[in-house]
Amino acid sequence: MNTRTANAIIRYSAGMRIKHWVVAISFVLVALSGLALFHPALFWLTNLFGGGPWTRILHPFIGCVMVAVFFLFSATLWRDNYLQDRDWVWLKKIKDVVGNREEHLPDVGRYNAGQKLLFFTIVVCLIALLLSGIVIWRIYFSAFFAISVIRYASLLHAFCGFVLICAIVVHIDAAIWTKGSIRAMTRGWVTPGWAWKHHRAWFREITKGIAQK
């Protein structure tokens, strides 16, 4: 299954894979440094970044890299993530989703409803994190904002960081659970059977041309 076959389907181009992993790695760094400053029990994580002051210095810059590359990445994902009628049916059958009974689910396009909701959760969280992060970026920007704005921005930043971390935990769980998807994001291709099983509407759409040849 790990050898690329002649009929493999390309799911993620090299550019998309690179962008995804730049975002993923910067997310891990920004999450670890953010958690270090969020909860005292995790302050030891600052050692990974060279101590407390370095964690404070690096966290916002890494965050900016994550947001910037994510929005480049999202441009290629945006249209495929619009929610459609069949997505609501899919969500109603969430028990079949988590129970590995995909035969009961409606056909899925390039992304399923869960992936779409995750995508927009990330979009909203990143925008909020960016804006609130600017407000609480003490050395450059905090002087421009009223103290009450800074207080609520701190709370909002922590809340959105928390939602984003939970969302990414679900994302990672799903990737480990659905075999073949990590390969899709590391090497770019999926087998026709994988596309047929998990994203049948997408499979039909992209194979239409091939079959006609």
Partner 1 sequence: MPLQSLDIIRRSATTLPEPEVRRAHTGQVAKLIDTTKCIGCKACQVACMEWNDLRDDIGTCTGHYDNPPDLSEHSWTLMRFMEYENPKGDLEWLIRKDGCMHCEDPGCLKACPSPGAIVQYANGIVDFQEENCIGCGYCVTGCPFDIPRISKKDKKAYKCTLCSDRVAVGLEPACVKACPTGAIVFGTKEDMKQHAEERIEDLKTRGFDQAGLYDPAGVRGTHVMYVLHHADQPALYAGLPDKPKVSSAVRLWKGAAKPLALFAIFATAAVGFLHYIGVGPNETDESDEEAARRELEKTP
Shorter beta-carbon distance to partner 1: residue 69 or 160: 160
Q: Are 189 and 6 in contact (CB under 8 A)?
A: no
The answer to whether 32 touches 48, Cβ cutoff 8 Å, is: yes
Q: Which helix (H) or strand (E) holds 190?
A: strand 189-190
Instruction: Examine the residue annotation and report whether 157 is marked as an active-site residue of this protein.
Output: no
d(CA 86, CA 103): 14
Segment contacting partner 1 by CB under 8 A, of 14-22, 70-78, 119-127, 145-153: 145-153
Q: Is 107 left (phi over 0), alpha (psi -120 to 50) or beta?
A: beta
Note whether 147 binds partner 1 by CB under 8 A: yes
Question: ∠ CA(119), CA(122), CA(127), 5° rounding?
Answer: 130
The two structure tokens encoding residue 2: 């790990």
Reported as type and span, the H/E element at residue 10 is strand 9-10
Q: What is the nearest approach in angstroms of partner 1 to the Cβ of residue 106?
A: 17
The count of residues interacting with partner 1 (CB under 8 A) is 58
Determine the distance from the C-alpha atom of residue 86 to the mean position of all C-alpha atoms in its chain, rounded to a whole number.
Answer: 22
Q: In this chain, which of 63, 109, 114, 180 binds partner 1, going by CB under 8 A?
A: 180
Scanning residues 39 to 98, which ones bind partner 1 (CB under 8 A)? Answer: 39-43, 46, 51-53, 55-56, 98
The site map against partner 1 for 160-179 (x = CB under 8 A) is --x--xx--xx-xx--xxxx
Catalytic residues: 171
The site for partner 1 (CB under 8 A) is made up of 36-43, 46, 51-53, 55-56, 98-100, 102, 136, 138-139, 142, 147-148, 150-152, 154-155, 158-159, 162, 165-166, 169-170, 172-173, 176-180, 191-198, 203-204, 207-208, 210-212
